[in-house]
Amino acid sequence: MKKKILSVLLCMAVTAAMLTGCGSGGNEASGSGTKEASVQEAGGGEDAAEGKGEESSGGKTVIRMTYWNSEDTVAAMLDYLAEAVPDVEIEYLFVDNSNYDTIVDTQLSAEEGPDIICESPGSALKHARLGYLEPLDELAGNYSDAGTSVYSYDGSVYALPGISWFEGIFYNKALFEENSIELPKTFDEYIAVCKQFQDLGITPLAAGLKSWEPMLKNSMAFVAAEYLSTDAGKNFGSDYRDGKVKMDGTWNSYLEKWSEMITEGIYTTDMTGIDHDQALEQFAMGDAAMFCSGPWDLDAIMAKNPDLQIDMMPFYGLSESAGWLIGGPGCGFAVNANSANKEAAMKVVAAISTVEGQAALWENNQGGSSYLDGAVFDLPEAYNSAADALAAGNVYCPWNEWGAAAPAHEEYGTQMQSYLLGAQDLTATLQNVDAAVEELLSK
């Protein structure tokens, strides 16, 4: 399969609709030297508009795959597909992140567009509701629920999860070993570990709370472990986006327990004056035992201190488990319901949905994990202590399931900052988030 790259930018006066992918922590590429093209060119021109299939000069079926990441992030996968599906030729369409939603929405609404579309959870839900995507239930059965739930609508799955992004708790192995401190396996044990470091005069957790992100992810990881991953809470995300439930009255008891992070002095008010880079340096230089982040920060940490012995542990709930990481699919592979080359597109997503296909996709996304059953890869040593959580598929991003209300996750983080500062109680905090969600859902 000969692969082509058509780099696309939309040249028109529109308001850019930013794609809010959870895994944008430094690994989203925007590319350079792009070729300008119209919406029709991006979507395949008149043949696509008329629903005609295409064949290359070699008699292969030509399909188009679009993504907001540059071609180098999927290069190994494209090479694999060239061998695995030799009767299909892929045109890889890179569309700049700032214009991605606008271009794809325009194409799909005209019953045009690429045959395979890389979707965020929010856009997949929108496109599934509008009937633009083909159900992929049979292939989805080979993936974990943690990966497919964010691409589900009305009982079917409309996109297959790619390699995940994730965030856990980096820790300084030497500080743990030198002070004979055991790794925690539960939330209560984690609090106890933090107290041990405090007693030693060592900052347990470096945190840049000038940003809303750390408290968002840390607290939601606990709620995921205790509630969202259980039978009682597994439908909260879908019910929340449908306006059937509120966060206030549901999450309160979990966040009250998690608030020991504040009452025990692990998160402190002065941390709201510390930014991400300052917290990273504090950890990298050995002045804090732990730091919450993901693979995108590993190089920066090691550049500051090449001798640092580093590993990552997951977040925990009250019961001993493999633990949980905050994260989700970097993208979901969806098939255009109006594709004239649907059979060929299905062959491609089926090839991606093999251990070999996932390995090829992982090759340019190392540090992430696969949601496909049986697809387990060797991780760098920096993630050894998170291996069980990754193998269990316990990588979850709660707001991915909020649909049109997903942008409210930032409001959640901001409200949690106010809670830390004592400006409001937990009930008011959650009520403010609910109000932001309700406003987004009403639009």
Every domain of the chain and the residues it spans: 4-163+330-375, 165-327+398-442
CA dist 248 and 220 (Å) reads 14
**Answer CATH for 165-327+398-442 from 2.60.34.10, 3.40.190.10, 3.40.50.720, 1.20.1250.20:** 3.40.190.10
Contact criterion met (CB below 8 Å) for 235 and 402: no
The domain 4-163+330-375 is placed in CATH, from the list 3.40.190.10, 3.40.630.30, 3.60.20.10, 1.10.286.10, at 3.40.190.10
Per-residue confidence (pLDDT) for residue 336, from 0 to 100:
99
Q: What are phi and psi of 411, to 5 degrees?
A: -60, -40
Residue 329's pLDDT is 80
Residue-level pLDDT at 57? 52
**Type of residue at 280:** L
pLDDT at 105: 92
Strand partners, 118: 333
Buried b (16+ CB within 10 A) or exposed e, 148-163: bbbbbbeeebbbbbbb
- State phi, psi for 5 to the nearest 5 degrees: -120, 120
Phi, psi values for residue 262, rounded to 5°: -90, -50
**DSSP state, residue 336:** B
Query: Tokens for 128?
Result: 């599934």
Q: How many CB atoms within 10 Å of residue 441?
A: 16
Half-sphere exposure of 223 (CA within 13 A, CB side): 22
Q: How many CB atoms lie within 10 A of CB 244?
A: 10
Query: How large is the greatest C-alpha to C-alpha distance in the chain, in angstroms?
Result: 72
> Which of 432, 443, 359 shows the shortest CA–CA distance to 405?
443
How large is the C-alpha radius of gyration of the chain? 22
E-only strand ranges, 125-238 = 152-153, 156-157, 160-161, 164-172, 203-206
- In angstroms, the CA 223 to CA 211 distance is 20
The strand pair at 325-329 and 164-172 is best described as antiparallel
Contact 94, 5 (CB under 8 A): yes
How far the first Cα of the chain sits from its last, in Å, is: 44
Cα-based torsion angle of the residue sequence 20, 22, 25, 28 in order, rounded to the nearest 10 degrees: -60
pLDDT at 33: 27
207 close to 274: Cβ distance less than 8 angstroms: yes
Q: How high is the pLDDT of residue 185?
A: 97
pLDDT averaged over consecutive 10-residue blocks of the chain (443 residues)?
40 34 35 32 40 64 94 92 98 88 94 96 90 98 90 95 93 98 98 99 98 96 97 95 96 99 98 97 98 90 97 97 90 97 98 97 83 89 92 88 86 98 98 97 85
pTM above 0.75, yes or no: no
Task: For residues 68 and 97, give the distance between their C-alpha atoms in angstroms, rounded to a whole number.
Answer: 5
pLDDT at 54 (0 to 100)? 66
Comparing 4-163+330-375 with 165-327+398-442, is the CATH topology the same?
yes
User: Do 308 and 284 meet the contact criterion of CB atoms below 8 Å apart?
Assistant: yes
Taking the C-alpha atoms of residue 54 and residue 150, their distance in angstroms, rounded to an integer, is 32
Q: Are 399 and 406 in contact (CB under 8 A)?
A: yes
CA–CA gap between residue 226 and residue 324 (Å, rounded):
10
